[in-house]
Chains A and B, each alone.
Chain A
Amino acid sequence: AQKVTQAQTEISVVEKEDVTLDCVYETRDTTYYLFWYKQPPSGELVFLIRRNSFDEQNEISGRYSWNFQKSTSSFNFTITASQVVDSAVYFCALSEPESGYNKLIFGAGTRLAVHP
């Protein structure tokens, strides 16, 4: 069973639209960490955010915001007023104590295309 599901394979928006990328995870642990990474067309992986399972506060960083809901096992990512530079593949990932937190379990990624 997939532990991290990003159901949206590709999303296409026009600049200045808001867009939400969904992430649903599955774990038996009460302590775990969730991450979002961005992979721009150049190919590198850029860390965006980390959230631990005990901190359900939403987080905002500029145009980016994250909504963590333990009740629905979701950690969704919203980009407000999207820009062409936001075009990338975005990965949600889970880290659990089972692996000593050494393993990141990635979702399949969501490819976001922002058109001018």
Chain B
Amino acid sequence: NAGVTQTPKFQVLKTGQSMTLQCAQDMNHEYMSWYRQDPGMGLRLIHYSVGAGITDQGEVPNGYNVSRSTTEDFPLRLLSAAPSQTSVYFCASRSQGTYNEQFFGPGTRLTVL
């Protein structure tokens, strides 16, 4: 199993550009989520999904869109990048069961100029 994979590892954007961060998992996990990590703030939840076709907002959803058309994939879209979106983005997944831990991907480091 590859676990949770994310592409790209690094990305530099100009303000106003759009892009999609890719996330895939091969563990057949129902739950997937996106977090951003900023210095001194830990990780904060952007959006999450409890299954194909079902998504919901987290703590910091503004400026980001998600969709979940398959169990495996959960892309994160930045429609018009802003410098405030410079961050490290982590995708995570977990299997059903309230006690189960989340498995994280390797992260995408995004810089918006």
Contacts and interface: CB of A to CB of B under 8 A. Distances in A.
Contacts of B59: 103
B48 A43 contact: no
A50 B101 CA distance: 7
Contacts of B40: 9, 108
A104 interface: yes
A63 to B, nearest CB: 20
- Range, interface on chain B: 20 to 34
Contacts of B43: 45, 91, 93, 104, 106
Given A101-B98, A102-B31, A102-B33, A45 B42 contact: no
Interface of B: 31, 33, 35, 40-45, 48, 50, 56, 58-59, 88, 90, 92, 98-99, 101-104, 106-107
User: Do most interface residues of chain B lie in helix, strand or loop, or is the interface mixed?
Assistant: strand
Interface residues of A, number: 24
A100 B50 contact: yes
Nearest to A31: B98
Interface of A: 4, 9, 33, 35, 37, 43-45, 47, 50, 52, 91, 93, 95, 97, 100-104, 106-109
A10 to B, nearest CB: 11
